[in-house]
Structure formats: C-alpha cells, structure tokens
C-alpha cells in the first residue's frame, strides 16, 4: 500500500473558493481511483464530508491552527516537517500553500500560478513579499511541481528554469454546477451578465465596468451586470466605479452560483491573468456563452469555445458583450463548442495525472 500525505488545511476554510475547491475536488477524484494508494490528511480536526465515506482517506489528526495566514504557514514549516516523520509516507503533496520544506519525505507541490511574483502590485505588500520569498524555496525543495495549465507551467519555467525537468501541467477538472432551483436576488433568466471572482485587480473589474457602461450606452434594452465573488483583504484595492445596472452580490454559495451560471445571458470574464480560469469551464458546463480574454490561460482553456477579447480594451469587451447577447447564431455556436470543449476537463483525468506524478516521485 502506497501512503501519500496531503496538506489539507484549506479544507477548513468557511467559504471555499479557488485553491480550496481544487483541493476538495482533487481529493474526491483521487479517492474514487481504484488503486493501491491511501491518503493521510494533515491540517484538519476531523474528516469533513464526504471524505469520511472513503476507505482510502484517513485523518492524521494533526490540525492546523487556522486555515490561512501567518499561523497556518508557520504550522506548515515547523509542525508539519516534524510530525510527518512519524508516519511511513511515500510522498507528501501540498495542493495549496507552501510545502514543509525541511521534510525528509519526497514533496509534490501544486503551484497554481506565480502572480505574486509577476504582478506584486495586485496584492498587499505583505502577501506579495511573503510569496516572493517562499516560492523559490518551494520550487527548489519540491521533487515535483504540479500546475494547472501550460501557460502557468511556462511562466514558472521562465522564472525558475532549473525546474524544467520536474514541472508538470495537469488541467483542473470541472464539476457540473449545482441545479440552483431558487432565483437569486430577484434576477430573471437571460436578463443579466455574470462576472465571477474575488475583488482582485487582476480580475479587471474596473475594465469590465467601463466596458459595461459603453454597452449600456449603445443598446436600448441593456441587461444588468452581476458581480459575484468574495472580497479578500490580501488583494490590493480594486476601485470599481459606480455604474447604473451593476449589482454586487459578494460571496454566493454553490446553489446560488449554479443558478447564476445557468440563467445568465453570458459569463463575462476579461481577466488580466489566471493560472487556469475555472469559471470559464463551469459556464461551459452550464451551457452559458462566454466572453473572456484572448491571452494566457484564459485563451488556452477557452480555445474557440468563447468570444475572445483584448482585456485592456473596454471598447472590444463592450463589442463582445453586445455580440454575444444579441446574436442568437453566435450564442448557439458558442454553447455547442463549449459542451464539446468542457469534456476535456474532468477531475478523473486530473486525478490520474496526479497519481502518475506520485508514482514517478516514489
């Protein structure tokens, strides 16, 4: 029996987004694999649902003092290296955060992107400084690095060329959005554009709102713009100007998000930078047309199944919004291509490719 330790502290976040969702969905898919691997979770008090139902997932009973922040990172670098010596682990995987760098166990680390390195201006000074210091150490001490797109892999190797032989891109999977039977915030089907993501300058919300203002000035009966996503203090301030027709919802749960995806006229996602861009494939799965950026991981993931725009050009974003909202033929084509494209992004595939990395390391 192969034993893999998992740094699972992000599973305790009360409002799971981003890397927390990645950790959860990857673990579920790993547990469904029929193989000779047992997973031992570090960082949780008890096994959260649904992991208590899987025989291959165990709890090491070594909780993190908190799900994130300075205390969590201190735990990763002091407590974790000490306690994992007590277990007969073949490898240790950190799906989010920093690996326990002085551990003697072979290390696998998922680096979703290196935006704090390439664009520190998008983050608080403390956050970006922390990652500029620790990321090179994580790259050096990890036996394998997993990342979530070819774009992210290329960027890691641009900054850390010595990692070329040990860095592997494995796409995220996508889970069908929840049914979400109850309408959200009094919205109506097809009567709004949807933006999903934290209030983060790299999400380009100011550019989106500027483009939306232009769109409203062009058409007689504009649809609303709905912004769904939490505000994170680690991010630099995103100054979103007030514009008629823009509604902010803050954090929404899975049922609400599922309803928003399924009933939006379009997902508008003109982000400046992503390691992957999960909302793109979630919207594809829901059958929602997409306007997104023509650069980086967004263009890689969307391929020809989305309307691609220059995210730095509000006029081009407004053109994309107008086209996708009003052109029924275009909408039908994007839906069809999206349904085909999304089949390439499954958590089962992510799990298989992750297990292959585990076996290489061992």
Q: SS3 for 331-361, per residue?
A: HHHHHHHHHHHHCCCCHHHHHHHHHHHHHHH
DSSP state of 90: S
Q: What pLDDT sits at residue 16?
A: 60
Q: What pLDDT sits at residue 146?
A: 97
pLDDT tier for residue 240 given thresholds of 50, 70 and 90: low
Q: Is pLDDT of 238 > 60? A: no
Q: Is pLDDT of 36 > 80? A: yes
- Across the range 316-336, mean pLDDT stands at 96
Q: What are 283-293's pLDDT values in tens digits?
A: 999 999 999 99
Assess whether the previous peptide bond of 282 is cis (omega < 30° from 0).
no
Cα 166 versus chain centre, distance: 22
What residues have CB less than 8 Å from 197, skipping those under 6 apart? 203, 229, 269, 271, 279
Query: What's the farthest any 2 CA atoms get from each other in the chain?
Result: 68
Residue owning tokens 């076996």: 359
How far apart CA 268 and CA 317 sit, in angstroms, is 9
**In the CATH hierarchy, which fold is given to the domain comprising 192-342?**
Rossmann fold (3.40.50)
The answer to whether 168 touches 145, Cβ cutoff 8 Å, is: yes
Residue 269 CA neighbour count, 13 Å, CB half? 34
Length of the chain: 362
The answer to whether 51 touches 38, Cβ cutoff 8 Å, is: no
Rg (CA), the chain: 21
How far apart CA 169 and CA 147 sit, in angstroms, is 5
Identical fold, 2-173+346-361 and 192-342? yes
What residues have CB less than 8 Å from 358, skipping those under 6 apart? 2, 4, 37, 90, 91, 93, 108
The answer to whether 174 touches 301, Cβ cutoff 8 Å, is: no
Number of H helices, E strands in the chain: 12, 13
Q: What pLDDT sits at residue 20?
A: 82
Structure tokens that stand for 117 in this block: 């390195």
Q: In the chain, pLDDT over 90 holds for what percent of residues? A: 64
Q: Which helix (H) or strand (E) holds 137?
A: helix 125-141
Q: What pLDDT sits at residue 17?
A: 64
How far apart CA 244 and CA 353 sit, in angstroms, is 46
pLDDT tier for residue 25 given thresholds of 50, 70 and 90: very high
How far apart CA 285 and CA 259 sit, in angstroms, is 12
pLDDT tier for residue 348 given thresholds of 50, 70 and 90: very high
- Across the range 13-33, mean pLDDT stands at 84
What residues have CB less than 8 Å from 190, skipping those under 6 apart? 223, 263, 264, 265
DSSP state of 308: E
**Average pLDDT over the chain, rounded to an integer:** 90
Q: What are 67-110's pLDDT values in tens digits?
A: 777 787 888 888 899 999 899 899 999 998 789 999 999 999 99
Domain range summary for the chain, segments of one domain joined by +: 2-173+346-361, 192-342
Q: What pLDDT sits at residue 319?
A: 97
Q: In the chain, pLDDT over 70 holds for what percent of residues? A: 96
Closest C-alpha among 78, 62, 87, 56 to residue 12: 62
Which CATH number is 2-173+346-361 given?
Answer: 3.40.50.2000
Structure tokens that stand for 346 in this block: 């499954």
- Across the range 220-229, mean pLDDT stands at 92
């Amino acid at each position: 029996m192969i034993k893999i330790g998992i740094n699972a502290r992000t599973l305790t976040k009360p409002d799971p987004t981003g890397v927390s969702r990645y950790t959860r969905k990857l673990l579920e898919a790993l547990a469904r694999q029929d193989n000779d691997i047992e997973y031992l979770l570090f960082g949780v008090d008890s096994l959260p649902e649904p992991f208590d139902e899987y025989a291959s997932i165990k709890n090491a009973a070594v909780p993190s003092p908190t799900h994130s922040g300075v205390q969590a990172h201190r735990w990763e670098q002091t407590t974790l290296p000490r306690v994992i010596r007590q277990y007969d682990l073949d490898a240790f995987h950190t799906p989010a955060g920093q690996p326990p760098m002085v551990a003697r166990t072979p290390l696998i680390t998922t680096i979703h992107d290196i935006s704090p390195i390439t664009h520190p201006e998008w983050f608080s000074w403390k956050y970006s400084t922390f990652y500029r210091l620790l990321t090179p150490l994580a790259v050096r001490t990890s036996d394998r690095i997993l990342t979530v797109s070819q774009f992210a892999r290329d960027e890691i190797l641009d900054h850390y060329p010595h990692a070329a032989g040990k860095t592997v891109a494995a796409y995220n999977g996508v889970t069908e959005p929840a049914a979400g039977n109850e309408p959200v915030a009094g919205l109506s089907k097809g009567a709004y554009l949807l933006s999903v993501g934290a209030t983060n300058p790299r999400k380009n919300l100011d550019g989106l709102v500027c483009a939306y203002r232009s769109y409203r000035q062009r058409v007689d009966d504009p649809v609303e713009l709905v912004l769904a996503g939490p505000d994170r203090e680690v991010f630099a301030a995103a100054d979103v100007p007030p514009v008629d027709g823009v509604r902010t919802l803050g954090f929404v749960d899975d049922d609400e998000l599922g309803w928003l995806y399924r009933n939006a006229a379009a997902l508008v996602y003109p982000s400046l930078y992503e390691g992957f861009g999960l909302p793109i494939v979630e919207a594809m799965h829901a059958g929602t047309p997409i306007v997104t950026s023509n650069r980086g991981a967004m263009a890689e993931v969307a391929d020809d199944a989305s309307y691609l725009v220059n995210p730095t050009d509000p006029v081009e974003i407004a053109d994309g919004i107008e086209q996708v909202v009003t052109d029924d033929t275009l909408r039908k084509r994007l839906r069809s291509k999206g349904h085909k494209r999304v089949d390439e992004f499954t958590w089962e595939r992510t799990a298989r490719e992750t297990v292959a990395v585990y076996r290489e390391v061992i």
